[in-house]
Amino acid sequence: MFQSKKDVKLGFYGPPNAGKTSLANRICKDFTGEEIGSVSKVPHETRNVQFKEKVEIEFKGKKMTFKMIDTPGIATKIDYEEFLKFKVKKKEAKNRAKEATQGVVESIKWLDDMDMVVIVLDATENPYNQVNITIIGNLVARKIPVLIVANKVDLKKADMKKIESAFPEYEVIGISAKYGENLEEFYESIFKLSKQI
């Protein structure tokens, strides 16, 4: 009779190095004291889907329990030579590339299972990247609620207006996962979005 609702599956999607894990870590740390995964300047640091169960977010007197799902960045190309620029050894770079390709496939497979999705974009990059459009197009087709987050607004090159003009039908929340800027607005939007499930 009083069966509790299932935890809301909240996915973090986006291109590599946009800050998906940084944001997921920030949230998990705030509400559970633990992080979800490691972060790095080297792209494709997250190469497996990572989970954190029972993350109870409390905001302005409201509570919701989420299953956080941090996904590997989706890309259309992966070249191990890119990793060499970050002083990764050749063998390790090749292995990283192989795992990264598998990670993209895994991310795509998980799209169907999400209750709601946060698209994390790098505010310093061009938002008109086909991967962003393709992911959002898929979520719209599956009727999965989407929130767009423009991360790295602490950087000078960040261009919020460009991201907002690319997605005028969406609320775009500018944050800095690294410094924890503007997370209040993010939590507010997450609660608002959850009503669409």
The stretch among 31-39, 83-91, 104-112, 181-189 that binds another protein (CB under 8 A) is 104-112
3-state secondary structure of 122: strand
Q: Is 140 in the site for another protein (CB under 8 A)?
A: yes
Tell me the C-alpha distance between 128 and 110, whole Å.
23
Q: Which two tokens stand for residue 22?
A: 């940084």
The stretch among 38-46, 84-92, 132-140, 182-190 that binds another protein (CB under 8 A) is 132-140
The stretch among 9-17, 73-81, 113-121, 185-193 that binds another protein (CB under 8 A) is 73-81
- Given 48, 95, 138, 189, the residue binding another protein (CB under 8 A): 138
Q: Which of residues 19-48 bind another protein (CB under 8 A)?
A: none
Q: Give the closest residue to 163 by CA, choosing from 154, 173, 155.
A: 173
If one counts every other C-beta atom within 10 angstroms of the C-beta of residue 15, the result is 21
For the chain, the distance separating the N- and C-terminal CA atoms, rounded to the nearest angstrom, is 22
Q: Which residues of the shown chain bind another protein in the complex (CB under 8 A)? A: 74-79, 97-98, 101-102, 104-105, 108-109, 111, 126-138, 140-141, 165-170
